[in-house]
Amino acid sequence: MTARWQKILQRSIRTHEECEKYFGSSFAKTNYPLLIPLSLAEKIKHQGLDSPLAHQFLPQSAENLTQGLIDPIGDHQYSPAPQIVHRYQSRALLFPTTTCPVICRYCFRKNELYQPDSLFLPKENETLDYLLAHPEIEELILSGGDPLMLNDKKLEQLLSKISKIKHIRFLRFHTRFISIIPERINNRFLGVLNRYQKFFSRMIIVIHSNHISEWGPASLKKIARLNKIGIELRLQSVLLPNVNDTTEALLNLYRLMIHHRVTPYYLHHPDHAKGTSHFQLSIEEGRKIFAPLRAQLPGWALPRYTVDIPGGHGKVDAFNPESYSFAGKLLNQHGEFVEYSS
């Protein structure tokens, strides 16, 4: 049976022509796929084509510029098995899908998802064998693509296999669904989470959202339901020009989230992905936007402002309490200096 969230997803804008027709406006043709659920398109239309929502999901000609990296954070370099990225000793990413409920124009994996030779393509046995053979992996992060694109049956099958790997004690989901298609958080899905929570010390859902305008009562209700069954909720956002590049925009989002018991976790400096040059800003600008948050949020609600150093060097803190200016070097996860130009 097709679930309601799947029906909502079926009714999406997927072509340039559909997009122009729906919004009654012309858009640049880009080299990247398009996916906007009609329920989201309605919101974008209502909020306007220059709104933070529109800038996140509508195509722009700058996507065709060639500067930037195909694999900005070095996923391929750290992929020892299909669907796996193992960059940090104690945690690994598992990509069970290559698709998402929406295609974000700023996506850092926009050149990797949807490719025929993608490292995200499923070869489940090899993937699970790798996890079994690596007892140092304590935390598994289901990311992608969006892991909640799996239907509940497939998700349950996956969780059943992961739950048998005893050294995986922490399970994290990264998802864009909750503000985009809240219907995904249905009784069946909550039932699956409930059944598998007991196999992990902590089960965490990291919600991806960048602006308060993404949120409505239906999405907030789903947060309440996840809270009720004891799932730990965190927020990750990308700092994006024309979307949330002011302290006030971030504060509005964070205040809403902490009020609903979602703790801000990461504020990502945008990665240097090819096709996202219009979403870049300097580290100096980012630091100036981030700094006032320290006085205006409770300490426990302050996210980590981080930058992922190209080449697979990993995530490091981008905020520097000593200066707004940036010397062009960052310390990677191994304590080595790496050149970085923002």
Q: Minimum CB separation from ligand SF4 for residue 238, in Å?
A: 7
Q: Minimum CB separation from ligand SF4 for residue 183, in Å?
A: 17
Tokens of 266: 């990461």
User: Which H/E stretch holds residue 294?
Assistant: helix 293-296
* Residue number, 100 or 171, with CB nearest to ligand SF4: 100
164 within 8 A of 134, measured Cβ to Cβ: no
Task: Candidates 63, 75, 146, 245: give the one binding ligand SF4 (CB under 6 A).
Answer: 146
- Interface characters, 103-142, with ligand SF4 (x: CB under 6 A): xx--x-x---------------------------------
- Interface characters, 193-232, with ligand SF4 (x: CB under 6 A): ---------------x------------------------
Q: Minimum CB separation from ligand SF4 for residue 114, in Å?
A: 10
CA distance 68 to 46: 33
Q: Minimum CB separation from ligand SF4 for residue 77, in Å?
A: 19
Task: Give the side-chain half-sphere CA count within 13 A for 31.
Answer: 13
CA distance 208 to 200: 22
| Binding window for ligand SF4 (CB under 6 A); candidates: 46-54, 98-106, 126-134, 148-156 | 98-106
- Of 134, 132, 140, whose CA–CA distance to 196 is shortest? 140
Q: 39 — phi, psi (to 5°)?
A: -60, -35
Q: Minimum CB separation from ligand SF4 for residue 146, in Å?
A: 6
283 within 8 A of 271, measured Cβ to Cβ: no
Q: How far is CA 112 from CA 108, 182, 275, 311, in A?
A: 9, 26, 12, 15
Task: Candidates 55, 86, 176, 315: give the one binding ligand SF4 (CB under 6 A).
Answer: 176
- Which residues contact ligand SF4 (rule: CB under 6 A)? 100, 103-104, 107, 109, 144, 146, 176, 208
